[in-house]
Amino acid sequence: MKKIIINGGHRLKGRVTVSGAKNSVVALIPAIILADGLVILDGVPDISDVASLIDIMKAMGAKVERQEDSLIIDPRGVQNMPMPYGKINSLRASYYFYGSLLGRYGEATVGLPGGCDLGPRPIDLHLKAFEAMGASVSYEGSAMRLATENGQRLKGATIYMDTVSVGATINTMLAAVKAVGRTVIENAAREPEIVDVATLLNNMGAHIRGAGTDVILIEGVDKLHGTRHQVIPDRIEAGTYISMAAAIGDGVQINNVLYEHLEGFIAKLEEMGVRMTVSEDSIFVERQEKLKPVIIKTAPYPGFATDLQQPITPLLLTTQGRGTIIDTIYEKRVNHVAELGKMAANISTIRDQIVYEGPNQLKGAAVKATDLRAGACLVIAGLMAKGQTEITNVEFILRGYSNIIEKLTDLGADIRLIEE
């Protein structure tokens, strides 16, 4: 079992570089199955989700080589094989294999997705899109089978997303790029990760227009070729380090940041009174003094990202007064609250709404990461706390934060990863 041990109270100073976007790369790797040639991804984060995806790709017959932060993938040997068990079940992003395998072979048998437990996250929108394009859905034990009649190509369709969904939007794009005719996705999600996946697919020869807007048009093509692609910076990792720098920093510069991907988040920091300097591809966060409490309400992009409400929570605990957090995306994303309570935080939940009051002097404690972003929240809290904090379930954290121990150590944190 792995644990993170933090001796808190050491103020952070220096520079940290944001890695490639986890929420992009977990879709980009399955997308490469659609290519008929070699694809190179640059800026790939060193996280366990990527390691699992590499293992899955190799098991399917792809050749994969890692060179520092680049992945070289030759998908031409990929076989259409059932993947009901193993690493597939540990990944929420495993559902992207539905779209890519359907697009390449007209069928897919893949285990039901896993990942963080954030309450119900149904994939009915994905299935609705696949069925509209001519696929049938059946279940084989713990796996789902999707198939067109006699393995024929999917057919273009007009698909309206009943709710805005990043996963369903990307999966529909993957299925549609080799479909016969035109596919229209209405009420599409607009997140930067969708634009990143569309950019890769277009560089491979796809015809996708409108990514980043709420209507995406896809003209199906017969073949896709190899290419080279730079993964966008991880806006959630950037927001996590910005929150950390504001909470316990003595001047921290966060590099490889795209401000336009973080406008909703940065606007809320400015409302709090956080002092920072925004440059073309970096943000310098000063040491903070008195900050104001705010009301945070998560929303689909370009609103305040649900993935950042947990990492910003320790910073909110330093403010002078009372505020609330309302997560409209995942109402049950409150498990970090009880763990922060163990660290003497004045924070509680009322009907799935988080209420906090500060300022707080956090105290080190034994806590448990219940999901990826809750884990990031506890790391920040541990850095701020007086005394030692021990975090278990750190596998969640390693799923999404590349080289987090090394990055924080370089900033002056007293943090280590141990294995028992």
What's the order of all strands across the beta sheet hosting 282-285?
12-17, 249-255, 282-285, 276-278
pLDDT in tens, 52-111: 999 999 999 999 999 999 999 999 999 988 775 566 666 767 889 999 999 999 999 887
Boundary of a domain, candidates 230, 261, 279 = 230
Q: Which of 116, 166, 269, 408 is catalytic?
A: 116
Q: Could you tell me if 203 and 106 lie in one domain?
A: yes
Q: What is the residue-wise DSSP string for 288-315? A: P------EEEB-STTSB-HHHHHHHHHH
221 and 243 housed in the same domain = no
d(CA 203, CA 293): 44
pLDDT of residue 123: 85
Q: Is 46 annotated as a binding residue?
A: no
- Verify that 8 and 67 share a domain, yes or no: no
Q: Is 122 annotated as a binding residue?
A: yes
Q: Is the CB of residue 299 less than 8 Å from the CB of residue 328?
A: yes
- The parent domain of residue 71 ranges over 22-230
Q: How many domains does the chain have?
A: 2
Is residue 49 a known part of a binding site? Answer: no
At residue 168 the predicted structure's pLDDT band, cuts being 50, 70 and 90, is: very high
Burial 39-71 (b: 16+ CB within 10 A, else e): bbbebbbbbbbbebbbebbeebebebeeeeeeb
> Please, is 351 exposed, middle or buried when counting C-beta atoms within 10 Å of its C-beta (0-12, 13-18, 19+)?
exposed
Mean pLDDT of the chain: 94
Mean pLDDT score, 397-405 = 96
Residue 214 counted as an annotated binding residue = no
Is 124 assigned to a binding site?
yes
Percent of the chain with pLDDT over 90: 88
Q: Is the pLDDT of residue 187 over 90?
A: yes
Instruction: Categorize the per-residue pLDDT at 120 as very low, low, confident or very high, splitting at 50, 70 and 90.
Output: very low
For residue 418, say whether it is annotated as part of any ligand binding site: no
Phi, psi for residue 230 in degrees, rounded to 5? -95, 120
Residues in the chain: 420
Do 305 and 397 belong together in one domain? yes
Last residue of a domain, one of 182, 205, 230: 230
pLDDT digit string, tens, across residues 126-160: 999 999 999 999 987 778 899 999 889 999 999 99
Determine the pLDDT at residue 142: 74
397 is in an annotated binding site: no
128 is in an annotated binding site: no
Residue-level pLDDT at 75: 98
Q: How far is CA 361 from CA 231, 293, 343, in A?
A: 38, 16, 9
Is the distance from CB of 311 to CB of 377 less than 8 angstroms? yes
Cα distance between residue 413 and residue 6, in whole Å: 8
Nearest to 343 by CA among 372, 383, 306, 370: 383
Same-domain status, 184 and 282: no
Q: Tell me, what CATH number does 252's domain have? A: 3.65.10.10
pLDDT, tens digit, 9 for 90 and up, residues 226-243: 999 999 999 999 999 999
Is pLDDT at 246 greater than 60 in this prediction?
A: yes
> If you search the block for the tokens 């999404």, which residue do you land on?
400
- Look at residue 178 and give its three-state secondary structure: coil
DSSP-assigned states of every residue in 318-353: TSSEEEEEE-SS-TT--HHHHHHHHTT--EEEETTE
235 known ligand binder: no
Looking at 230, 252, 286, the residue that finishes a domain is 230
Q: Is 377 a catalytic residue?
A: no
Q: Is residue 5 classed as helix, strand or coil in its secondary structure?
A: strand
Is the pTM here over 0.75, yes or no?
yes
Q: Which amino acid is at 321?
A: G
User: For residue 116, what pLDDT band results from cuts at 50, 70 and 90?
Assistant: very low
